[in-house]
Amino acid sequence: MVNPSPRTAAKADPAVPFLDLVSQHRALEEELVVAFRGAVRSARFVGGPEVAAFEREFASVVGTAEAVGLASGTDALRFAYLAMGVGPGDELITVPNTFIATSETITQAGGTIRFVDIDEATMTLDPAALAAAITPRTVGIVPVHLYGQPADMDPILAVAARHGLWVVEDAAQAHGATYKGRPAGSLGALAAFSFYPGKNLGACGEAGATVGNDRARLDVVRQLREHGQAKKYYHDSEGYNGRLDAIQAAFLRIKLRHLPAWTDGRRRAATWYREALADVAEVHLPTEARYARHSYHLFVIRAERRDALQAHLTQEQIGTGLHYPLPLHLQNAYRGMGLRKGAFPITERTAATCLSLPMFPEVTESQVARVADAVRRFFRG
Ligand SMILES: Cc1ncc(COP(=O)(O)O)c(C=O)c1O
């Protein structure tokens, strides 16, 4: 086959990745390398001043008294539930449209999962469904600030107060988001953050944190991350190895300084999408709740013929994702709960129609325009 000459070849549109961590790290490379060198030279790899400094700085950004650096967001949830005292028979209410880390850690902490459906506009825990689901065994509520949109915390906290329940926020996707001006993660008894690389604030590996104002419970989290020890080799309980690496803490300190600008970048991209897709009636755009400053961890549209639309975008070299394709109550892992299709209609409908478009702070207006054009062409031909 004869290759077409460069002059006659059609100019291919460049691909638009779903997430571009390479650009972000290229801009930070020198600083990250210096931090890495510092860790190697000091040989402080676990705990130490970098972890303590990151904990202070992150707590100050979230507006809580303390943050406890951990090995993952999953540990942050599990340890938060354990610190709240979850025991056998205790029910925790959460949503079925989340990543399984929210719920598997309930079981791992010894509790029982109780799912309730979401509010269609915000995609987060429906306060009315919550109130109806409380039983005498309910002890806690776990709203998930999904995609960077905070759950409607005031009515949730009011229901909690009325029934004597605690609230732990799953803020894994909500760094930089606010609820009525207050940071997501500062509203419940405790909150869990993930610093998985693709998150709005991501490490260069696995990391997480539990944050809050309750120093006694955060002391429990601190013990749990270190095999239940109060001081070296003296164990008040069994625990876990859930510590944050010093190298990751050093990387996170560098990246934390960029979080406000990155959140602005995501919000700018969301505005471009809204403008570019405003005339495509087949596409249901995500809402930003009146109470919220959405941090757009993900930009999730909903549309009929979602699978065909996704295939079309893949063919156009546009990266997409599904968050999430199968609700938790219909997963094999939860077959034992006996929940069937139809149990949570809004979550199920969302799972069938959701599509996450490319979203990252560095995405350009022309990349967004290219995605929007491809979406428009799919519906309009
Ligand atoms: C909503 C939610 N909760 C919890 C987690 C768990 O965080 P990690 O992957 O850091 O364990 C994640 C991230 O994957 C998440 O998206």
How far is ligand 1, taken at its centre, from the CA of residue 264, in Å?
22
Average pLDDT over the chain, rounded to whole? Answer: 95
Ligand 1 pocket, 173 CB below 6 A?
yes
* pLDDT attached to residue 5: 40
The verdict on the CB of residue 248 being under 6 Å from ligand 1 is no
What average pLDDT does range 215-220 have in this prediction? 98
Amino acid 1: pLDDT: 37
Hey, what are 71's tokens?
């090995």
The CA 298 to ligand 1 mean position distance, Å, reads 13
Q: Which has the closest alpha carbon to 209: 169, 155, 262, 263?
A: 169
Please check the confidence at residue 11 and state whether its pLDDT lies above 60. Answer: no
User: What's the 172 CA to ligand 1 centre distance in angstroms?
Assistant: 5
Instruction: State mean pLDDT over 177-196.
Output: 98
Query: Residue with structure tokens 């998930």?
Result: 144
Beta bridge partners of 231: 234
How remote is the C-alpha of 353 from its chain's centroid? Answer: 20
CB 190 within 8 A of CB 168: yes
Q: What is the pLDDT of residue 12?
A: 56
In this predicted structure, the answer to whether residue 212 has a pLDDT above a threshold of 80 is yes
- Measured from the CB, is residue 98 less than 6 Å from ligand 1? yes
Least confident of 4-18, 67-81, 195-209, 340-354: 4-18
- C-alpha 145 – ligand 1 centre gap (Å): 11
Give the chain's domains with CATH numbers. Answer: 23-256 (3.40.640.10), 259-380 (3.90.1150.10)
Q: Is the CB of 208 under 6 A from ligand 1?
A: yes
**119 Cβ below 6 A of ligand 1:** no
Residue 74 Cβ inside 6 Å of ligand 1? The answer reads: yes
Mean pLDDT of 360-370: 98
User: 240 CB under 6 A from ligand 1?
Assistant: no
Q: Which ligand 1 atom is nearest residue 144's CA?
A: 1
pLDDT digits (tens, 9 = 90+) for 239-286: 999 999 999 999 999 999 999 999 999 999 999 999 999 999 999 999
Predicted local confidence at residue 7, as pLDDT = 39
Pocket test for ligand 1, best of 190, 196, 324 (most atoms within 8 A of CB): 196
How many whole angstroms from 239 Cα to the centroid of ligand 1? 20
Answer whether 288 contacts ligand 1 (Cβ < 6 A): no
Q: Is 10's pLDDT higher than 80?
A: no
pLDDT at residue 362, rounded to an integer: 97
- Looking from the CA of residue 207, the nearest atom of ligand 1 is 10
Ligand 1 atom index nearest CA of 146: 1
Phi then psi for residue 369, to 5 deg, are -60, -40
pLDDT in tens, 223-233: 999 999 989 99
Whether 372 has a pLDDT exceeding 70, the answer reads yes
Structure confidence at residue 14 (pLDDT) = 77
Eight-state DSSP code of residue 3: P
Residue 380 confidence (pLDDT): 87
Residues 6 or more apart in contact with residue 174 via CB below 8 angstroms: 145, 148, 149, 150, 184, 185, 200, 295, 297
pLDDT tens sequence across 42-81: 999 999 999 999 999 999 999 999 999 999 999 999 999 9
pLDDT at 149 over 50: yes
Q: Which long-range contacts (CB under 8 A, 24 or more apart) does 136-139 make?
A: 137/89, 137/90, 137/91, 137/112, 138/90, 138/91, 138/92, 138/93, 138/114, 138/163, 138/165, 139/84, 139/85, 139/86, 139/90, 139/91, 139/92, 139/111, 139/165, 139/166
Position 381 scores a pLDDT of 75
Which atom of ligand 1 lies at the shortest distance from residue 75's CA? 11
Q: Establish whether residue 242 lines the binding site of ligand 1, counting it when its CB lies within 6 angstroms of any ligand atom.
A: no
Backbone angles phi, psi at 168, to 5 degrees: -115, 120
Query: What's the pLDDT at 279?
Result: 94
